[in-house]
Amino acid sequence: MADTVSPPLYQKFSRKNHIHRALDICILFLLTSLIFYRLLTLKNHGFAWLLALLCESWFTFVWVLTVSTKWNPVDYKTYPERLPQRVEKFLPAVDMFVTTADPVLEPPIITMNTVISLLAVDYPANKLACYLSDDGCSPLTFYSLLETSKFAKLWVPFCKKYNIQVRAPFRYFSSTDHKPMLSSDASSLEFQQEWKKMKIMWENKEGVSNGLPHLIYVSREKRPNHPHHYKAGAMNVLTRVSGLITNAPFMLNVDCDMFVNNPQIVRHAMCFFLGSKNEGDTAFVQTPQIFYDGLKDDPFGNQLVVLYEYMGRGIVGLQGPFYGGTGCFRRRKVIYGLCPNDIGDFAKFLTPVTGNLDDKELLNIFGNSKEFITSAANALEEKTNRPNDLSDSMEAAYHVAACGYEYGTAWGKQVGWQYGSTTEDVLTGLKIHGRGWRSVYCKPDPPAFLGCAPSGGPTSMTQQKRWATGLLEILVSKRNPIFATIFGKLQLRQCLAYLWIFLWGLRSIPELCYMVLPAYCIITNSNFLPKVNDPAIHGYIALLIIYNTYTLLEYLQTGLSIRAWWNKQRMAIITSTGAWLFGVLSVILKILGISDTVFEVTQKEQSTSDAGRFTFDGSPIFVPGTTLLLLHLASLVMGLFSIRDGKGLPFGEMSFSLLVLICFWPFLKGLFGRGKYGIPLSTICKSVIIVSSFVYLCKHSSMG
């Protein structure tokens, strides 16, 4: 009798992208051709030509990184329905982490909906535990969680009985069309009666006893003179506390606004972990960040749809996606520093050096809690702690959550979430990839998690500044991807992919210079573009047409509009010359020892009355954009006067300057807006001073 072969839990597919590859090569050819042209004609031109050469060389380098990253896109398909037939009784336990830090910027109503959606996932409740980390130590958050636990005793059975698909109550009850959220028996009289009861109960928050996953509230000790390392520190405390209480072999972490949108997501993730022939194939499973109630045409360009579709899937085809900070499942033993070659060997899990680790060395690694060291040993063997009474572990949990527990240990350096960057997620993922692990990308239908995207100018810019700051912090540190490739096991093209994202901040400098060049040339009556009668101008026109057609094609293929594409193009320039530039300045100040970088929490909003309208505040982050706007307005006026005086028309430079004005259209409207829709007078005054000084210096240098 022939042996039966079990069907795979997931499959991997390579995408065919011949048209995209052809356009990639075409753009790269045009860029390199223009660089050679500038080099050959450099002696016949001045400063503007040299600066343009340097900027375009940088753009070419970034395009090489881009092409390398997106060259081999890959898709995965999971089959969670095959799990019950094989390992339903042996499904591993999962500890789920939710982090929040500020009850004002992150309202508890949003956080509690995320918590309750996790409690209601389709997975054995006795194998789940949900931990909420409240870094703000807010009584409001704590009592909100108590009330949520009462409602969950009614809500979770209701969702599972009727196979409700959207299990975040605020999303479920705010929808007028429940058909896509329900099972086939949703029209029954019994369902209608229980549905009404739930909506009443959501207001009254009364509960009855029922089987639910463990729900644990964690607020770690923090003192002013002790570094607490922001979110990374909170995640390490959650790791230690959960290791003492439940010690599940797998962990999921989500931001407080990322609720479960697909109740089968834990099973989808288990398809990768349990379906891999080699454990080293999957250190973590990353899901994309997708947002609910996205504004039409994505006016702030922060929906990340195209980024995940092309760059994201390209990275998946390398060593695996970056750790995105939320919606990520990982093996606990990987967080504890295990390398793929050391699977099953606790004695050498931290370093490739063989030999036994004595008690003193273990204390130096994990801290002075013998209970936690024991739980770590169990985790490396994937043994799960399931105490009958969670309170038995409370004393040890208090100990490992103390602010001084990590001193002199490997936490934040060799084990746990990594310290030293405000983008602790990417740094932690880099550390894991550098050990030789791989990661996979999980994008089920419907999407696994949904969150709320930043709305308004200040919120979007603050988030982008934090990303640029943290990524650049990693690049200038000893834990950058180049060192991880030379001294670790990071693959070369994965290193290039990391460089592509780490260079976001530095891209602000050449892009800012390129934005200033047309105004400088108009003021000084010089040029950085070939003349209209120069054949080289056709190369620039071809590059402009092909690149924009290419990026527009990506948007149209993902179902987005032309307006969404344009919004992304202009916001990319606004972000680069504003938020990213200040990210670079923050890192420079840190290197000089003047000030340290700060983790800035992003405002979480469910809805806003001014959705889609660009807003401003008094932050200096809006000074560069305002300055560029005023500079190009001034240069265009001066260019028109030059034409009147009989001087030649700088057609290319004036067209470029006009394009910059169009990109900064929200700032142009902000000059005449009021309140938060207008640019503050202090910002305008600063920009006027900068522009006046620049024009004076340009005129003075041209006369000299």
Catalytic (active-site) positions: 135, 425
SS (H, E, C) 223-253: CCCCCCCHHHHHHHHHHHHHHHHCCCCEEEE
Calculate Rg over the CA atoms of the chain. Answer: 27
Q: List, as one string, the DSSP characters of 363-401.
A: HHHH-S-HHHHHHHHHHHTTPPP--S-GGGGHHHHHHHT
Tokens of 534: 């120069």
What single-letter amino acid sits at 632?
A: H
Neighbours of 183 (CB within 10 A): 12
Judge whether 106 is annotated as a binding position: yes
Cα–Cα distance measured from residue 567 to residue 583, given in angstroms and rounded to the nearest whole number: 22
Burial (CB < 10 A; 0-12, 13-18, 19+), residue 657, is: buried
Beta bridge partners of 439: 284
Q: What is the DSSP-derived secondary structure letter of residue 415? A: B
Q: Which of 234, 215, 287 is nearest to 258 (CA)?
A: 287
Q: Report phi then psi at 264, rounded to 5.
A: -90, 5
- What distance lies between CA 579 and its chain's CA centroid? 15
Q: Which of 512, 511, 501, 513 is nearest to 472 (CA)?
A: 501
Q: Helix 424-434 vs helix 230-245: angle between axes, to the nearest 10 degrees?
A: 60
Cα–Cα distance measured from residue 556 to residue 571, given in angstroms and rounded to the nearest whole number: 18
Burial (CB < 10 A; 0-12, 13-18, 19+), residue 460, is: buried
* 3-class DSSP assignment, residue 620: helix
Cα–Cα distance measured from residue 576 to residue 625, given in angstroms and rounded to the nearest whole number: 10
Cα–Cα distance measured from residue 439 to residue 67, given in angstroms and rounded to the nearest whole number: 21
Q: List, as one string, the DSSP characters of 472-532.
A: HHHHTSTTSHHHHHHTS---HHHHHHHHHHHTTTTTHHHHHHHHHHHHHHHHHT--SS--T
Judge whether 231 is annotated as a binding position: yes
Cα–Cα distance measured from residue 622 to residue 605, given in angstroms and rounded to the nearest whole number: 22
446 close to 165: Cβ distance less than 8 angstroms? yes
10 close to 78: Cβ distance less than 8 angstroms? yes
* 3-class DSSP assignment, residue 221: coil
320 close to 438: Cβ distance less than 8 angstroms? yes
Cα–Cα distance measured from residue 694 to residue 631, given in angstroms and rounded to the nearest whole number: 9
The C-alpha angle 264, 266, 271, rounded to 5 degrees, equals: 95
Annotated binding-site residues for UDP-alpha-D-glucose read 106, 135
Binding site as annotated, residues: 106, 135, 231, 255
